[in-house]
Structure 1
């Protein structure tokens, strides 16, 4: 007969639970090991990669920026008075001389004011001439009075001297002799007064004539202003060059100060470059610049650096010192390369895609014997337009992948076919 053994069933169930637990632990360990395995290195065609060797030597730091050629000498011509545009005689693009009339304006009031100013000036000049003649006549009268007084004084002195001897001999009484001396002294005092009066009159005449001349000068300035405003109704170029703009139309009514034409010298150009604000900090006045016009390179020097940042860039003005190539003209789009400094005996490499100066990044170092590229940490230094300094992580002669490898960011190794 069968003997009922409940302990065997318990042992069997316990044994099954142990095996299940062991299986779960084994699966967990296997999953953990598989999750920590490096993904297999992807294969990349050698022809699709940009690979270059790290070099040691001198590196020229440069910055690049787009820009345009602009005239160095530009003259905006503005309306001096309110006026109406009568005729436009010259169209934009035409060559003009300094006295070329570009357009004519009209304002009858301006001519009337000029004629009034001219009449006032002429009247003032006539008044000045009449006053000068009157004062000169009075001055001569005063001089004549002074001369008469001098004669009387000298005659009185002579008479006093003659009567002195006669008085000593008793021929002339003392009272008559004293009367003669008193007359001589009185004439001397009058003579001094007349001399002082002539001096004062001379000063007064000079002051009056100076005041009249100042008034004439003021009226002349007013007349010259009115005359210039009248002449400005015929708008002239002012400089020899090319007429670039005439931003008005015939029949338009203009306010004073309205720009009516722009003239520039097309053979004297400069470049206005836009340099990224992160790179403009190293740009200095006097640095050499190469301006690429797509038809030749023009040499230049940094002349001015705008202190303001506009839309992430800084304007740098460049004076051109080289000959202009054919086709160089105002508003031509150009590229400029500014030479910042020369770095001596440094490690450098062509600038990798999306690299920034003074940063740490990772690059793939190519092993030609193993046909693979391993990721290495690299510290980059100062950068140029096409090259960048290598401070740590690479040595001279290392082959580095410089093309964009962002699609392989999760891999530390590439297989190069």
Structure 2
């Protein structure tokens, strides 16, 4: 038979404290803790319905002072004058200068071989010489005809003088009674005929002169047209000699050596090292505010350069507008083509305005409301904001100088009227 453990057990007497008293004491302790928590969270009568750790938000102080509305942009250094040279005629290219090689104005950079153009020039030059000879021959023929007409005029003049003398003798003979009236009438007719022949000869000579002048003028016009054709071909032939338009250095080859190029095809670039500009990329939503003359500050290699917008591109590419900045003064030796830089475009400057640091509260609050901080209680306050710069935002109404404002994102505040910052 297995024995139990009754002999090893020790009897324990129960507590004599009434159980209701213990429960009352525990309830009092819990109530006290709750009252202390309520006093800690909602002291001062503030009825905040949401608590957010203070380190999760950013606080800014409203101040009064100068306000500059600006825009931070990125860009690069570019040569103010970097022309691209194009082919004027199809042919085979021979590049004579390497990229980066220094060149002087007028240096020969490349040559395009175009046998077709050279042959056409020779043909038109031969045609010009032939036309010159033909005009000279036509001029000689016209002068020969003019001489023939002048000879006819001289003969008619002599005949007129002879008829005039014959008429005079006939009149004298009629007065002496040795000549009939019929013979006098015949002399008058011959005189009239000679007058008509002489007048006709004079008109023919004048017509020959006019014809000669016309032929000369027409021939000269045809010759001038042909001279223009030859001059244009010679210009195209000379344009096959690609020369440096500025003093600087060769940029990049746009074609390969000994390639066949087409008319109007880009060949190479030449960079003028004497003057640089900055090319900035500006978001398209600021394009309407860009204008020539706006002040620009450019930060490059730890130095600040002052400049102004010289011109703005009329088109938008990939959401950006290109703008050029002309420096007021610069050290050309410290600048390099395509060197990266950062800039600040100054749109306007104001004095004695209320401002607060820029933050995400602008977009998250719609620019119409903000949370003003008083004794760790952030109260939703309607505000009116003005211009926005890189660092500041202008305050038009709703706040006073010295007010503290939550400038971080307001989405965590859940549009509550009051929020305690713990």
Q: When the two structures are superposed, what TM-score results if normalisation uses the length of structure 2?
A: 0.74
| 1:358–1:382 CA contact under 8 A, matched in 2 | no
1:67 pairs with 69, 72, 75, which one? Answer: 75
Unaligned runs of 5+ in 2: 1-37, 42-46
The reply on whether 1:241 has 2:262 as its aligned counterpart is no
Provide the secondary structure at the position in 2 that maps to 1:279. Answer: helix
CA shift for structure 1 position 300? 1.9
The reply on whether 1:51 has 2:60 as its aligned counterpart is yes
1:348 pairs with 334, 338, 355, which one? Answer: 355
Q: How does 1:330-349 map to 2 (within 5 A)?
A: 330-343=337-350, 346-349=353-356
| 1:363–1:376 CA contact under 8 A, matched in 2 | yes
1:255 pairs with 262, 285, 289, which one? Answer: 262
| 2:49–2:419 CA contact under 8 A, matched in 1 | no
**Aligned residue in 1 for 2:381:** 376
**Aligned residue in 2 for 1:309:** 316
Check 1:282–1:235 CA distance in 2 against 1; reply closer, same or farther (3 A cut): closer
**Aligned residue in 2 for 1:38:** 49
CA shift for structure 1 position 168? 5.0
Check 1:153–1:213 CA distance in 2 against 1; reply closer, same or farther (3 A cut): same
1:299 pairs with 288, 292, 307, which one? Answer: 307
CA shift for structure 1 position 261? 1.6
The reply on whether 1:386 has 2:391 as its aligned counterpart is yes
**Aligned residue in 2 for 1:278:** 285
Q: Which has the larger radius of gyration?
A: 2
Give the distance between the partners of 1:350 and 1:105, measured in 2 at CA: 62
Give the distance between the partners of 1:413 and 1:167, measured in 2 at CA: 149
CA shift for structure 1 position 90? 0.5
Q: When the two structures are superposed, what TM-score results if normalisation uses the length of structure 1?
A: 0.75
CA shift for structure 1 position 91? 0.9
| 1:54–1:400 CA contact under 8 A, matched in 2 | no
Check 1:394–1:277 CA distance in 2 against 1; reply closer, same or farther (3 A cut): same
CA shift for structure 1 position 321? 5.4
Check 1:324–1:39 CA distance in 2 against 1; reply closer, same or farther (3 A cut): same
CA shift for structure 1 position 394? 0.9
Question: Cα deviations across residues 353-401 of structure 1 (Å, max 9, x unaligned)?
Answer: 463599524444344xx46654433221222333322122212332334
Aligned residues: CA RMSD: 3.6
CA shift for structure 1 position 118? 2.0
Provide the secondary structure at the position in 2 that maps to 1:360. Answer: coil
Give the distance between the partners of 1:156 and 1:350, measured in 2 at CA: 120
Check 1:154–1:330 CA distance in 2 against 1; reply closer, same or farther (3 A cut): farther
Check 1:301–1:194 CA distance in 2 against 1; reply closer, same or farther (3 A cut): farther
Provide the secondary structure at the position in 1 that maps to 2:317. Answer: coil
The reply on whether 1:81 has 2:89 as its aligned counterpart is yes
Give the distance between the partners of 2:365 and 2:223, measured in 1 at CA: 72
Q: How does 1:18-417 map to 2 (within 5 A)?
A: 38-44=49-55, 49=58, 51-55=60-64, 59-85=67-93, 87-153=94-160, 156-157=163-164, 160=167, 164=171, 167-168=174-175, 170=177, 172-294=179-301, 295-306=303-314, 308-318=315-325, 320=326, 322-326=328-332, 327-343=334-350, 346-353=353-360, 355=362, 359-367=366-374, 370=375, 374-402=379-407, 404-406=408-410, 408-410=412-414, 412-413=418-419, 415=421
Provide the secondary structure at the position in 1 that maps to 2:186. Answer: helix
Unaligned runs of 5+ in 1: 1-32
Provide the secondary structure at the position in 2 that maps to 1:278. Answer: helix
